Amino acid sequence: MTDVHEEADWFPRELRDYWSVSLVEAMVVAVWAAAVAVSTVRGTASGWTTGQPAPWQEDLLLAVGPLGIFVLVPFTVVLLLVTTRYRHLGLVAPYSTAVCIFCGLVLSSPADCQILALNVGTLCIPLLIPVGRFPRRPRSSSPSVLGGGEHAIRLHSLLNVYWWIKRGIQVSAIGSVLLTLFLMRSNAFAERVAAALPWLLFLLSAVLCAWCWLRLFRPFFELCCEPFFRPLYKIRARGPGVKAVPPLGPVLVIANHAAWFDPVFLGEFIPRPITPLMTESFYNIWFIRPILKYVFRVIVVREQAARREAPELQQAIAALGRGECVVLFPEGFLRRKEEMVLRRFAQGVWHILTARPDTPVVACWIEGGWESTFSWRGGPPVKGKRLDFRRPIDVGVNAPEVVPAGVLADPMRTRLHLMNRVSAARTHIGLEPLPPFTLPAEAEPVQSEQSA
């Protein structure tokens, strides 16, 4: 298992996604350059009197320009303002599809290559905005920046290589415009290029489009859920950890658990895909299970009081080994009573950190979920309750920290330490921390619950 983890750490999933986006960016610029070049050659050769396309094709091509300017660009800007950097990746798949469609249209309507050039150039505007916000060149190889662990320097090197290759792709794609226009000076060569280039670009764009949908469907799905989720909750994350969540490498996010949507509340500020642990009662809902299993790849926790085996812990350890961001609610149960603000943490979090002791831990406190539609306050979630509308959800986020080895040596001390860290996150949203959780003088277990 160790070998598999190390191989995955060499090229994390997030970096594979960013490379896909860089290829799409280069493809968009290349299609724009080719459209300009082909239209120039055909227009010059025919005196701009090439045959006209079908009416429906002309209407479709002419409609895309205003659609991009007045609909796609404003919608993209709004999404960029209210979503995390990771979800910006969701824009790439539909834009790659649009580029593929345009390449197909230019084959059936070669007379309007100049219109294609204009429309693809319009699509570059909203596409290049999110691409420009992807991880910049790192200035430090500190474990706190790259997720800690023995592979921090390796991740730093990968980010440097990615940064330089990304800039190289951008420069090469833009340079292809000048090179193509220069080659157009030769009429014989220009005619051969003009005949073959659209087919080649269509095939390349189709392959790249399929790749993007396979690689980037999850951020696209999350982006599509934003218009439905945003009216329900007004989420505000505050604290030193909001901008300090490691962008790469393993990281464990822990928090209190009071509502079904707690993982969603955390995912609103975490700038990377999360791997949450989820109870099987929610996971087994028939219309949600395919999405959770194949899109989000959640780790299922069996609801059983006493068990000798806990395969979900091994799955969480393996996910951290792959450099993923694991979201865990150490209480193990959804809050059921008003007076039970925070349960004693179960031993699972200690087992996970013992296997991965260098993993940074981000402790959070979620306030506002207990009163929501999807909590147990006033009865089972959803049943007989009004749907939430703009309910305020405040999330306090501590800075990432590695649990000291001396604390990690003892299970009870580890659990109490993490409970106090979660409690301390309340101060970032203007709440008083809970009374300190301490180890009793006798060798007795700590109380199973704590009042506010």
CATH number at residue 189: 1.20.1250
- Which pLDDT does position 223 carry in this prediction? 87
The pLDDT of residue 284 is: 84
How far is it, in rounded angstroms, from Cα 73 to Cα 223?
15
Say yes or no: 372 and 432 in one domain: yes
Tokens of 128: 């290049």
Same domain, 239 and 199: no
3-state class of 168 per DSSP? helix
Q: Residue 8: its pLDDT value, please?
A: 40
217 and 246 together in one domain: no
How many residues does the structure list for the chain? 452
Does residue 216 share a domain with residue 237?
Answer: no
Last residue of a domain, one of 197, 223, 249: 223
Cβ neighbours for 81, distance < 8 A, ≥ 6 positions apart: none
Q: What does 364-388 look like in DSSP terms, one character per residue?
A: EEEESSTTSTTSSTTSSSSTT-PPP
Token duo for residue 168: 């190289």
Radius of gyration of the CA atoms of the chain, in A: 26
**Cβ(95)–Cβ(28) below 8 Å:** yes
Same domain, residue pair 246 and 388:
yes
Residue 411, pLDDT score: 94
Per-residue tens of pLDDT for the chain, all 452 residues: 333 333 344 456 666 666 666 666 666 666 666 665 665 555 555 444 444 555 655 566 566 656 665 666 666 666 666 777 778 778 778 877 877 777 776 666 555 555 555 555 555 545 554 444 444 443 443 444 444 444 454 555 555 555 565 566 556 555 665 665 565 555 566 666 666 766 777 787 788 788 888 888 998 899 888 888 989 999 999 999 998 888 778 899 999 999 999 999 999 999 889 999 998 878 888 888 999 988 998 999 887 666 667 899 999 999 998 889 999 999 988 999 999 999 999 999 999 999 999 999 999 999 999 999 999 998 999 988 999 999 999 999 999 999 999 999 999 999 999 999 999 999 999 999 999 998 875 544 444 444 44
Task: Give the separation between CA 26 and CA 162, rounded to whole angstroms.
Answer: 14
Number of domains in the chain: 2
Q: In the chain, what's the furthest Cα-to-Cα distance?
A: 95
Q: Are 241 and 349 in contact (CB under 8 A)?
A: no
Mark whether 170 and 286 lie in a shared domain: no
Range of the domain at 446: 231-450
Residue of 382, 419, 369 lying closest to 398 (CA atoms): 419
Are 178 and 145 members of one domain?
yes
CB proximity list for 122: less than 8 A, separation 6 or greater? 64, 65, 68, 69, 72, 73
Give the other-Cβ count within 10 Å of 73's Cβ: 16
Contact assessment for residue 365 and residue 423, using Cβ atoms and an 8 Å cutoff: yes
Q: Are 217 and 237 within one domain?
A: no
pLDDT (0 to 100) of residue 449:
45
The CATH number that applies at residue 286 is 3.40.1130
Q: Do 180 and 250 fall into the same domain?
A: no
Which domain-ending residue is among 223, 243, 264?
A: 223
* Listed residues 190, 207, 223: the one ending a domain: 223
Nearest CA-CA partner of 382 in 232, 256, 226: 232
pLDDT of residue 203: 83
- What's the pTM value of the predicted model, to 2 decimals? 0.79
Alpha-carbon gap, residue 387 to 372, rounded angstroms: 8
pLDDT for res 302 = 81
Same domain, 185 and 251: no
Residues 81 and 197 in one domain: yes
pLDDT for the residue numbered 412? 94
